[in-house]
Amino acid sequence: MTTERPMPTATLLIACPDRPGLIAQITGLVGDLGGNIIDADQHTDPEAGQFFMRLAIEREGVDRAALESGIVQVAAQRSMQWRLNWRDEPTRLAVLVSKQGHCLADLLFRWQAGELEGDIALVIGNHADHQAITEAAGVPFVHLPVTAPTKRGQESRIGELLSETKVDCVVLARYMQVLSPEFVADWPARIINIHHSFLPAFAGARPYHRAFERGVKIIGATSHYVTDDLDEGPIIAQATTTVGHRDTVEDLVRKGRDLERVVLADAVRAHLQDRILVSGNKTVVFE
Amino acid sequence: MTTERPMPTATLLIACPDRPGLIAQITGLVGDLGGNIIDADQHTDPEAGQFFMRLAIEREGVDRAALESGIVQVAAQRSMQWRLNWRDEPTRLAVLVSKQGHCLADLLFRWQAGELEGDIALVIGNHADHQAITEAAGVPFVHLPVTAPTKRGQESRIGELLSETKVDCVVLARYMQVLSPEFVADWPARIINIHHSFLPAFAGARPYHRAFERGVKIIGATSHYVTDDLDEGPIIAQATTTVGHRDTVEDLVRKGRDLERVVLADAVRAHLQDRILVSGNKTVVFE
Amino acid sequence: MTTERPMPTATLLIACPDRPGLIAQITGLVGDLGGNIIDADQHTDPEAGQFFMRLAIEREGVDRAALESGIVQVAAQRSMQWRLNWRDEPTRLAVLVSKQGHCLADLLFRWQAGELEGDIALVIGNHADHQAITEAAGVPFVHLPVTAPTKRGQESRIGELLSETKVDCVVLARYMQVLSPEFVADWPARIINIHHSFLPAFAGARPYHRAFERGVKIIGATSHYVTDDLDEGPIIAQATTTVGHRDTVEDLVRKGRDLERVVLADAVRAHLQDRILVSGNKTVVFE
Amino acid sequence: MTTERPMPTATLLIACPDRPGLIAQITGLVGDLGGNIIDADQHTDPEAGQFFMRLAIEREGVDRAALESGIVQVAAQRSMQWRLNWRDEPTRLAVLVSKQGHCLADLLFRWQAGELEGDIALVIGNHADHQAITEAAGVPFVHLPVTAPTKRGQESRIGELLSETKVDCVVLARYMQVLSPEFVADWPARIINIHHSFLPAFAGARPYHRAFERGVKIIGATSHYVTDDLDEGPIIAQATTTVGHRDTVEDLVRKGRDLERVVLADAVRAHLQDRILVSGNKTVVFE
């Protein structure tokens, strides 16, 4: 159960209007300041005229201050958005959960197996169901029940806990509450949800029931960043599996659990490895 | 290119309210009249309270008249719908096509390779593009152009041709015209369409463009029986494949073509083998 | 985490030389003795001349003694092998495990979620690693370390424990010891193993390393019944996933874990639902 | 059937021992000489200590002579292997075929649909079966029958034809003759084969029959570069599909045809787009 975590590298993510010479300029800058580039990936969106790049840089030997100020200069010239993550500390996740525990259990297991380049710092449940499994993994569990009248207060309390625990990213592991626009605005591209359908089909409630009624021959799951539009945020990962006329709604739910676990874990892994860039309402997910 | 076609068996499809003893009654009847059952499959839909069965029966040695009158009696008792296909003649298909030829070419190839238990008797195109490939396969091609004012007349002409050619089933192989309710009513569960999305997502026009704009990570294709509600008929087969941020709309179209060919061929094969029963707006597809 | 288990039905599995009239004879017998057949599936292997059938029968209203003696009579006439499982008691599983815990954790989770029609009665580990997670699920864990000189004794002790605990089926959840021919002979078609490759490729040790060295673009997992020939027993379920040049051996191991969990669970579910018949070195797995 | 082909870009492929600064050096060189880099992808194999890169460069505005001499210099310093393809002319393919025509028909269709960035210049068959379909696509077909005594001569004649037709790459589309080591040596990493199994399982003859006998639940197809070791060359692409106990050998063959077509086309497309680098007996296939 203890697989070695890979040696962390620093990651530089950039997005800017496409211009010739960008790759050479950025990789040259990093190299001149002692940074050994382990992995580089880039993408050009010709419609949007945007350029995206991810560099993985060895942490040893690089002049951090010089690199940061160099990037600031390029960013000013190029109207470039960027994020440089030195990875001195693991990224910290909070998981929000309701009654369904399969995604939470899966994330805890993967974290303990060393699959996630980050830490699960906190689990918050609006039901108490998963306290034991969370604490058995050595993670604090906070039970914050919610009802219509207490919803605003409960959400503020979540915000405080995330702040106190220095959380970087929130994972909704089948959390059945809709977050307020104010909350979502505080966490742009930092809340990952799992929806139990292949979006855009069956957005909203009870997707397996609706898939059953429509008589589809495939079902799916979708992980996406949360935005104000329910189930409309940028898609990070999707997967599907086949179903047939013998499958009941319960079979769809069971098969779907296997999809949800894998699709959510894929998204969380990609986020933790700084492999995702958001472009409009779409994602670039480097490999 | 010449694979042996399997020896045809007669097929009996039945659907009726579920009652104890149905399997024994029907299989007993067939056996008592000399019919050797090669394959039996059945399904109970507990919500609808419906029972469905398909029997494949050796054609040799069975007393056909007695079997048919026996089934008529059971059908009366059991409020049973049934279809008994002796397969003395191959089922005859007509393929309707517009400019996109990949599904037509694929069906012609599969037919020539012996994959289809039926014959392609006729191809009708509202463009002339695919005349050569059709005639090279030894199949008549009729060019029936269509414009808004000539639509009604063109459709009547299609109906006449289908009737003259003794067609049993119509395949819309990316035929880009919507058929009228009158035409559809004449061919219940006998018109198979391929739609280039994983329905119910992206019903209607330009699904690959809309999939691209939404930023999905999977695309799909769906074959279904045509009903009055566009892209809403009973689904027969679906498949999906992964796409990524590097894929342009043209890549989606190209990848989609591979899905469409396989999904449409699956549906046509299932129909030709009498493996599909329609139940409400869903299908039972036996294997 | 508590999904309702489906109402158990009795299951009758039969295998015999193919003869006309079998389906009607068996289903008639069951029906005449008050058994309502919920589901019937059958398969004929024309090469082997063998007929296989599975019936799911409502437990209420059937004359058990009469049905059993009826089947005994047919079995004598038809050289028929059969197994009738009334399901008065849940099937009892033992899970054997070594250091890798992902398959065990997955089975425990699925059992608690109600996905398995049986009980995990016992976990035996040749290492102590998974005692806590097992006991947290309310299942006894026995630590039986093994070395070359103690191997024979350890295996006898396993046999005693299985017997004392009234286990019906043994699951090797990445158990890294080869069982002796004597042990295997005691449990025909009742030991399920998961092998971490798409057999017959990469049978034996270190399949992910060998897959990496060969440069394959897909990896897989295989569940099978254990026979005397290592990794050569009848295959129950297989699945594959894509890999690429960026994937290290560790990535293959990680991706493989997701396959192994699903493929082993599929096999265990099929076994517990009496859906598997062994025919020579192959399986019939009804749906 | 006429999809626009993408505007060709020049491609530079390099492979060399991994050293810091390579990306910046190469991309800088290209940029300084007027080359606009449209796409860059790279991979480091830490075990082999090798670095691989592919650049797609706009053909307009670049000083070709200067770029080539610059690369020659870097190559000398860095022990770098490289290939620069200006794409002034489409890559020319020859397809070798025997009796099975599905892969040939598929490649012809894709070529006509504009899916392939290259031309099918010639088809050679050791049977005459596919002359009509080839010539209907406007491609010359040469029938070169082969028997044991004429094998050497037939192969020489193939070599002459390839040379006369200025072919760059040979596709074995289910060509059932083993090529001699001398022939293979003339075409390193330029002969693409499709094998009808998921290698390394079922290398050699009759893989579908052997898969059927083993009772596997998945079948596959593999495209690879041809080397002296039969079915042992570097794998380019693989795919699998599920099979079950109802599938006969003929069903495996039929399902396999769909896999073979897609897997071979994937490999040919990747080769034509200069996306494949061979490293030892493995491939790097950029996306």
Would you state the structure tokens that stand for residue C18, as one six-digit string?
């193919």
Q: Give the closest residue to D277 by CA, choosing from D269, D286, D268.
A: D286
Pairing state between β D191-195 and D218-225: antiparallel
- The answer on pLDDT for C189 being more than 50 is yes
Look at residues C34, C52, C85 and tell me which one is the last residue of a structural domain.
C85
CB within 8 Å: A284 and B245:
yes
The pLDDT of B21-25, averaged and rounded, is 90
pLDDT given for residue C1 in this prediction = 34
Residues 85-124 of chain C whose Cβ lies under 8 A from any Cβ of chain A = 99-102, 105, 109, 113, 115
Do the domain assignments include residue A1?
no
Question: Measured between alpha carbons, how far apart are the two ends of chain A, in Å?
Answer: 25
- The answer on pLDDT for A4 being more than 70 is no
pLDDT given for residue D46 in this prediction = 83
DSSP conformation class of A225: E
The pLDDT of A79-106, averaged and rounded, is 96
Rounded-to-integer distance, Cα A42 and Cα C259, Å: 30
pLDDT given for residue B46 in this prediction = 82
Give the residue with greater pLDDT, C285 vs A40.
C285
Give yes or no: residues D78 and D99 share one domain: no
pLDDT given for residue C48 in this prediction = 86
Rounded-to-integer distance, Cα C271 and Cα C189, Å: 9
A30 at the D interface (CB within 8 A)?
Answer: yes
Residues of A within 8 A of C244 (CB-CB) are 287
Would you state the structure tokens that stand for residue B123, as one six-digit string?
């191809």
CB within 8 Å: A215 and B199:
no
Is B232 within 8 Å of B258 (Cβ atoms)? no
Summary mean pLDDT of chain C: 94
Residues of D within 8 A of B253 (CB-CB) are 3
Residue of C133, C135, C286 to mutate, testing the A interface (most A Cβ within 10 Å of its Cβ)? C133
Please report where in the chains the tokens 């049973």 appear, as a residue.
B80
Look up the CATH number of the domain holding residue C78: 3.30.70.260
Give yes or no: residues B56 and B106 share one domain: no
B5 at the D interface (CB within 8 A)?
Answer: no
Which listed residue (A106, A168, A231, A274) is catalytic?
A: A231
Rounded-to-integer distance, Cα A42 and Cα A55, Å: 9
Please report where in the chains the tokens 């039945």 appear, as a residue.
B14
Do the domain assignments include residue A3?
no
Domain total for chain C?
Answer: 2
Of A1, A250, A287, Cβ closest to residue C129: A1
Beta bridge partners, B56, equal B11, B39
Is B218 within 8 Å of A220 (Cβ atoms)? yes
Q: How confident is the model at residue A46 (pLDDT cuts 50, 70, 90)?
A: confident
The pLDDT of C2-29, averaged and rounded, is 82
Give the nearest chain C residue to D234 (CA atoms).
Answer: C215
pLDDT given for residue A5 in this prediction = 44
Would you state the structure tokens that stand for residue A104, as one six-digit string?
């939470």
Give yes or no: residues A66 and A105 share one domain: no
Q: What is the pLDDT of residues D232-282, one digit of tens each?
A: 999 999 999 999 999 999 999 999 999 999 999 999 999 999 999 999 999
Give yes or no: residues A173 and A47 share one domain: no
Do the domain assignments include residue D73?
yes
**C66 CA to chain D: closest CA distance, Å?**
32
3-state secondary structure chain D: CCCCCCCCCEEEEEEEECCCCHHHHHHHHHHHCCCCEEEEEEEEECCCCEEEEEEEECCCCCCHHHHHHHHHHHHHHHCCEEEEECCCCCEEEEEEECCCCHHHHHHHHHHHCCCCCEEEEEEEECCCCCHHHHHHCCCCEEECCCCCCCHHHHHHHHHHHHHHCCCCEEEECCCCCCCCHHHHHHCCCCEEEEECCCCCCCCCCCHHHHHHHHCCCEEEEEEEECCCCCCCCCEEEEEEEECCCCCCHHHHHHHHHHHHHHHHHHHHHHHHCCCEEEECCEEEECC
The pLDDT of A159-171, averaged and rounded, is 98
**C52 CA to chain B: closest CA distance, Å?**
11
CB within 8 Å: D1 and B262:
no
pLDDT given for residue B48 in this prediction = 86
A47 at the C interface (CB within 8 A)?
Answer: no
Would you state the structure tokens that stand for residue A261, as one six-digit string?
């676990």
> What's the domain range around C49?
9-85
Q: How confident is the model at residue D20 (pLDDT cuts 50, 70, 90)?
A: confident
Q: Which of C6-20, C203-217, D199-213 has the lowest mean pLDDT?
A: C6-20
Whether a cis peptide bond, with omega within 30° of 0, leads into A200 is yes
Q: How many Å is the Cα radius of gyration of chain C?
A: 20
Cα–Cα distances in angstroms (integers) from residue D254 to residues A67, B5, C145, D98, in the given order: 58, 12, 50, 17
A161 at the C interface (CB within 8 A)?
Answer: no
Give yes or no: residues A78 and A189 share one domain: no
Q: What is the pLDDT of residues A175-186, one digit of tens each?
A: 999 999 999 999
pLDDT given for residue A21 in this prediction = 86
pLDDT given for residue B6 in this prediction = 53
Do the domain assignments include residue D156?
yes
pLDDT given for residue C177 in this prediction = 94
Give yes or no: residues D75 and D99 share one domain: no
- Element containing residue C43 per DSSP (H, E): strand C37-45
Largest CA distance in chain C: 63
Residues of D within 8 A of B6 (CB-CB) are 250
pLDDT given for residue C7 in this prediction = 65
Could you give the percent of chain A with pLDDT greater than 90? Answer: 90
Residues of D within 8 A of B252 (CB-CB) are none
Beta bridge partners, D40, equal D55
- ipTM for the predicted complex comes to 0.94
Give yes or no: residues A22 and A59 share one domain: yes
Pairing state between β C282-285 and C276-279: antiparallel
CB count within 10 Å of CB C160 equals 10
Look at residues C85, C109, C125 and tell me which one is the last residue of a structural domain.
C85
Q: What is the pLDDT of residues B84-133, one digit of tens each?
A: 999 999 999 999 999 999 999 999 999 999 999 999 999 999 999 999 99
Hey, CA dihedral for A77, A78, A82, A88, is it positive or negative? Answer: negative
Give yes or no: residues B60 and B128 share one domain: no
CB within 8 Å: A235 and B220:
no
A128 at the D interface (CB within 8 A)?
Answer: no
Would you state the structure tokens that stand for residue D63, as one six-digit string?
């000083």
CB pairs < 8 Å spanning B and D? 41
Helices D249-272 and D207-214 cross at an angle (nearest 10°) of: 130
The pair phi, psi for residue B107, each rounded to 5°, is -65, -40
Q: How confident is the model at residue D2 (pLDDT cuts 50, 70, 90)?
A: very low
Give the nearest chain D residue to B108 (CA atoms).
Answer: D105
pLDDT given for residue A7 in this prediction = 65
Do the domain assignments include residue B4?
no
Do the domain assignments include residue B2?
no
Rounded-to-integer distance, Cα C197 and Cα C179, Å: 19
Give yes or no: residues D186 and D263 share one domain: yes
Residues of B within 8 A of D100 (CB-CB) are 1
pLDDT given for residue C5 in this prediction = 44
Look up the CATH number of the domain holding residue C188: 3.40.50.170
Q: What is the pLDDT of residues C86-135, one digit of tens each?
A: 999 999 999 999 999 999 999 999 999 999 999 999 999 999 999 999 99
Query: Active-site residue A106, yes or no?
Result: no
- The answer on pLDDT for A108 being more than 70 is yes
Is A199 within 8 Å of A235 (Cβ atoms)? yes
**C51 CA to chain B: closest CA distance, Å?**
10
C218 at the D interface (CB within 8 A)?
Answer: yes
pLDDT given for residue D7 in this prediction = 65
Which listed residue (B88, B129, B168, B231) is catalytic?
A: B231
Give yes or no: residues A162 and A35 share one domain: no
Rounded-to-integer distance, Cα C147 and Cα C149, Å: 6
Give yes or no: residues D124 and D151 share one domain: yes
Q: What is the pLDDT of residues B161-219, one digit of tens each?
A: 999 999 999 999 999 999 999 999 999 999 999 999 999 999 999 999 999 999 999 99
pLDDT given for residue C2 in this prediction = 36
The pLDDT of B132-156, averaged and rounded, is 96
Give the nearest chain C residue to B58 (CA atoms).
Answer: C20
Q: Which of B64-78, C43-57, D89-103, D217-231 has the lowest mean pLDDT?
A: C43-57
Neighbours of chain B (3+ CB pairs under 8 A): A, C, D
Look at residues C44, C63, C85 and tell me which one is the last residue of a structural domain.
C85
Q: Give the closest residue to C230 by CA, choosing from C177, C173, C279.
A: C177
Residues 255-284 of chain D whose Cβ lies under 8 A from any Cβ of chain B = 257-258, 262
Whether a cis peptide bond, with omega within 30° of 0, leads into D20 is no
Do the domain assignments include residue D2?
no
CB count within 10 Å of CB D280 equals 12
Q: What is the pLDDT of residues C208-251, one digit of tens each?
A: 999 999 999 999 999 999 999 889 999 999 999 999 999 999 99
CB within 8 Å: C24 and B42:
no
Do the domain assignments include residue A15?
yes
Could you give the percent of chain D with pLDDT greater than 70? Answer: 98
DSSP conformation class of B8: P
The pair phi, psi for residue A122, each rounded to 5°, is -165, 140
- Quick one: D49 exposed, middle or buried, by C-beta within 10 A (0-12, 13-18, 19+)? exposed
D287 at the B interface (CB within 8 A)?
Answer: yes
Residues 129-148 of chain A whose Cβ lies under 8 A from any Cβ of chain D = none
Of D43, D202, D217, Cβ closest to residue C245: D43
Alpha helices in chain B (DSSP H): 22-32, 64-78, 102-112, 131-136, 151-164, 181-186, 207-214, 249-272
The pLDDT of A76-85, averaged and rounded, is 96
pLDDT given for residue D6 in this prediction = 53
Give yes or no: residues C236 and C270 share one domain: yes
